[in-house]
Structure 1
Amino acid sequence: MSQQVKTGMQHYVEIGRQKQQAEQQYREKMRKKRFDTIAAHGIYSLEESSSNYGSTMEPLVISPAQHFENSDHLEAALSYATPAWGYTRIHNPSLHYLEETLSLLEGYGYHGETNATVTSSGMSAIFMATQPFLENPVPGVNFIADAKCYGGTFMLFNERYHKERNIDVRWIEDSSDLSHWERSIDEHTRFLYVEMPSNPSLTVVDLEGLSALAHHHNLPLIVDATIATPALMRPLRHGADIVIHSLSKAIGGSGSAIAGAIIAKNNITTKLDNEDLKANFTGYLKLWPMRDHGPHYHR
Structure 2
Amino acid sequence: MRCGPPLGAARSASGPCEWWSCPGGSGSLRCASGCGRPIGQPRILSSSVGFTPRRRSADVTSSTRSQHMTGQQGFETRQIHAGAAPDPTTGSRATPIYQTTSYVFRDTEHAANLFGLAELGNIYTRIMNPTQDVFEQRVAALEGGIGALATSSGQAAQTIALLNLAEDGGHIVSSASLYGGTYNQLHYTFPKLGVEVSFVDDPDDLDAWRAAIRPNTRAFYGESIGNPKGDVFDFEGVSAVAHEHGIPLVIDNTLASPYLVRPLEHGADIVTHSATKFLGGHGTTIGGVIVDGGTFDYEASGRFDNFTQPDPSYHGLVFSQLPPELFPARYILKARLQYQRDLGAAISPFNAFLLLQGIETLSLRMERHSANALAVAQWLEARDEVEWVAYPGLESSRWHERAQRYLPNGQGAIVAFGIEGGAPAGQKFIDSLELFSLLANVGDVRSLAIHPASTTHQQLTEAEQASTGVTPGLVRLSIGLESVDDLLADLDAGFRAAKGA
SS in 1 for 2:125: coil
Q: Partners of 1:130 and 1:216 in 2: how far apart?
A: 20
Residue 191 (1) aligns with residue 219 (2): yes
Equivalent residue for 1:6, pick from 8, 14, 24: 24
Aligned pairs (5 A) from 1:1-299: 6-7=24-25, 14-15=34-35, 20=53, 21=55, 22=60, 26-45=66-85, 48-49=86-87, 51-107=88-144, 114-137=146-169, 141-162=170-191, 164-165=192-193, 167-270=195-298, 271-273=303-305, 274-275=307-308, 276=319, 280-299=330-349
Instruction: Tell me the CA shift for residue 72 of structure 1.
Output: 2.1
Q: Which amino acid aligns with 1:56?
A: R
- Give the CA deviation at 1:73: 2.3
TM superposition score normalised by structure 2: 0.53
Change (3 A) 1:16 1:128: farther
- 2:25/2:36 contact within 8 Å kept: no
Residue segments in structure 2 that go unaligned for 5+ positions in a row: 1-21, 44-52, 309-318, 322-328, 350-501
Deviation of residue 129 (structure 1)?
0.4
Shift of 1:293: 1.2
Indicate how the Cα distance of structure 1 residues 166 and 237 shifts in structure 2: closer, same or farther if over 3 A, else same: same
Q: Counterpart of 1:246 in structure 2: which amino acid? A: S
Question: Could you tell me how far apart the structure 1 residues matched to 2:293 and 2:23 are?
Answer: 39
Distance of 2:120 and 2:193 partners within structure 1: 36
- Report deviation, 1:148: 1.1
Distance 2:64 2:296 in 1: 21
C-alpha deviation, 1:258, in angstroms: 0.1
CA offsets 1:25-56 (integer angstroms, 9 cap, x no match):
642332101111111011222xx43x131211
User: Offset at 1:298?
Assistant: 2.3
Distance 1:165 1:123 in 2: 15
The answer to whether the Cα contact below 8 Å between 1:16 and 1:82 also exists between their aligned partners in 2 is no
Of the two structures, which has the highest relative contact order with CA contacts closer than 8 Å and spacing of 6 or more?
Answer: 1
Amino acid paired to 1:27: Q
Q: Is the CA contact (8 Å cut-off) linking 1:265 and 1:280 kept in structure 2?
A: no
Instruction: Report if aligned partners of 1:195, 1:223 keep a CA contact under 8 Å in 2.
Output: yes
Cα distance in 2 between the residues matched to 1:212 and 1:25: 36
Q: In the superposition, relative to structure 1, how do residues 95 and 26 fare at CA in structure 2: closer, same or farther (>3 Å)? A: same
Q: Is the 8 A contact 1:176 1:204 kept in 2?
A: no
In structure 2, the partner of 1:110 is none
CA contact 1:223–1:244 (8 Å) conserved in 2: yes
Kept in 2: contact 1:116–1:283 (CA 8 A): no
- Structure 1: gaps (5+ residues): 108-112
CA contact (8 A) 1:219 1:269 kept: no
State percent identity of aligned pairs: 30
TM-score with structure 1 setting the length: 0.86
CA RMSD of aligned residues (A): 2.5
Count of aligned residue pairs for this structure pair: 282
Q: Report if aligned partners of 1:89, 1:296 keep a CA contact under 8 Å in 2.
A: yes
Question: C-alpha separation between the residues in 1 aligned to 2:252 and 2:141?
Answer: 17
The change in CA–CA distance for 1:56 and 1:191 in structure 2 (over 3 A counts) is same
Q: 1:180/1:26 Cα in 2 relative to 1: closer, same or farther (>3 Å)?
A: same
